[in-house]
Amino acid sequence: MYRLSLISFLFISFVNSNELTFNEVIEKDDKSVEISFLLEKVSLVKSYSLNNPSRLVLDVYDTKLKEDINISYNYPIKKIRSISEGDTSRIVIDLYENIFWEKPTQVQTKNGVMLTLVTKRIKNLENSIRDIVIAIDAGHGGKYPGAVGPNNILEKDVTLLIAKELERTLRDTSGYYPVMIRSNDETIDLNSRYQEARKKGADAFISIHADGFRLESVKGASVFIWSDEASSTVARNLSEKQRKRIQADIKNLKDDDFNEDRARNNYPEMYKNKIDQSQILGTKILEQLKRDPYTKIHKQNVEYADFRVLKSVDIPSVLVESGFITNPEDAARLKGKAGRRMIARSIFLGIHNYFKQEPISNTTIEMNPDMVLYEIQKGDVLSEISIRFGVTVDSIIKLNNLNGQPIFPGQILKINI
Ligand SMILES: [Zn+2]
């Protein structure tokens, strides 16, 4: 649990200039093309596709173009060009045909921050489409075990296992692309967690935890979103040791890191929208947790708290406390695969219902909101798949005309959710 975090008036000074330059175009193979740019530091980037004529647009906030970009290229890319709009540099990629594209990523290189966009040719697309990127943050890890439950069950282990379960469902389901903030037992500071989500172009950020409390009797799951108000109350009540750790954490922001604190001041509308969206996302996840017969609920409404990892200016961010591992019942539930799977399922269905209600244009989910395609993995059985998606085995059999036929790895199942 990271309830004690940000002191929002502590800013570090950053160099204001952030120059954007074109880097290169690489044809990976006949289907995939990588277009890259260089920045001085990690930036706020909005990307989307438009139709008639077909094109991709990247708005890179608070940057200056070193020089105008105007490059003609080979099929399927017609042209890469730029437009300066105040402090925003707009990059337009004109296309000959609709393509599949990936959210641009930002990676630190020796030449600066490389902003890369990957496009892939897929025949006969009605629009240029992309997957929804979900950042999964397994709480704690490495030298920070988090809460400790009976028989030395550690929060950091439980959170990683739930995260992996969620990753698996998202990975094997059409329209989603999961990004793990940590994939093993490693120490990652709080700044790096939300910075990583930005660098990977996340559309939503889910932090997974399992609470601890001095009273063994306290149990159940809760869902949190960030609040400034909770933040200032917590900040006032910090101990000296906690205050020092937070200050050290803020100092750890590297020069190329994106300053979310400043962005929240500069873009209050964007931030307000993010809070509203986080509230909807959190509510959708909580609704699913309430449907799960094994999971008790600790707080009936989405709670506000100062969890530093949720502080992004624009990425809807939610923290799920999957239970209290200091409570024997919750600990037993979270220790078992079945219990963890139910938490992962609630989070997945919550995410899916959120993107059904608040669609991102030109994504698979927007075009086909009621049905997902799931790729069967080795070892899968129908009963397990049905639990994973919260549907009945019968509904899967009917929808896919499976009467008596065995399923096999690589097979694509339609699932109505
Ligand atoms: Zn925790």
- Distance from the CA of 230 to the center of ligand 1, in angstroms? 17
- Distance from the CA of 2 to the center of ligand 1, in angstroms? 6
Stretches where the chain sits below pLDDT 70 are 1-16, 229-253, 255-256
Give me the pLDDT at residue 235, please.
53
Q: How many independent structural domains does the chain possess? A: 3
Contacts of 61 by beta carbon, 8 Å cutoff, 6+ apart: 43, 44, 45, 46, 87, 88, 267
- Taking the C-alpha atoms of residue 378 and residue 41, their distance in angstroms, rounded to an integer, is 42
Q: What is the pLDDT of residues 14-48, one digit of tens each?
A: 446 899 999 999 998 878 999 999 999 999 999 99
Q: Which of 78, 95, 120 is the last residue of a domain?
A: 120
- Taking the C-alpha atoms of residue 402 and residue 172, their distance in angstroms, rounded to an integer, is 19
Q: Say if residue 344 is in the same domain as residue 404.
A: no
Give the CB-side neighbour count of residue 37, counting CA atoms within 13 A. 35
- Distance from the CA of 155 to the center of ligand 1, in angstroms? 7
Domain CATH for 170? 3.40.630.40
- Distance from the CA of 71 to the center of ligand 1, in angstroms? 48
Domain CATH for 394? 3.10.350.10
- Look at phi and psi of residue 321 and say left if phi exceeds 0, alpha if psi is from -120 to 50, else beta: beta
- Distance from the CA of 140 to the center of ligand 1, in angstroms? 6
Residue 249 corresponds to which amino acid?
Answer: D
- Distance from the CA of 209 to the center of ligand 1, in angstroms? 4
Give me the pLDDT at residue 4, please.
41
Q: Say if residue 297 is in the same domain as residue 326.
A: yes
- Distance from the CA of 264 to the center of ligand 1, in angstroms? 25
Q: Say if residue 58 is in the same domain as residue 173.
A: no
Give me the pLDDT at residue 174, please.
95
- Distance from the CA of 354 to the center of ligand 1, in angstroms? 24
Residue 324 belongs to a domain = yes
Give me the pLDDT at residue 142, please.
97
- Distance from the CA of 405 to the center of ligand 1, in angstroms? 44
How many other β-carbons are positioned within 10 Å of the β-carbon of residue 145? 14
Give me the pLDDT at residue 271, please.
94
Give me the pLDDT at residue 14, please.
45
Give me the pLDDT at residue 405, please.
86
- Distance from the CA of 147 to the center of ligand 1, in angstroms? 6
- Distance from the CA of 309 to the center of ligand 1, in angstroms? 11
8-state DSSP, 117: E
- Distance from the CA of 136 to the center of ligand 1, in angstroms? 14
Instruction: Quote the tokens at residue 201.
Output: 């172009």
Crossing angle for the helix pair 155-171 and 328-335, nearest 10 degrees?
Answer: 40
What is the extent of the structural domain holding 162? Answer: 132-357
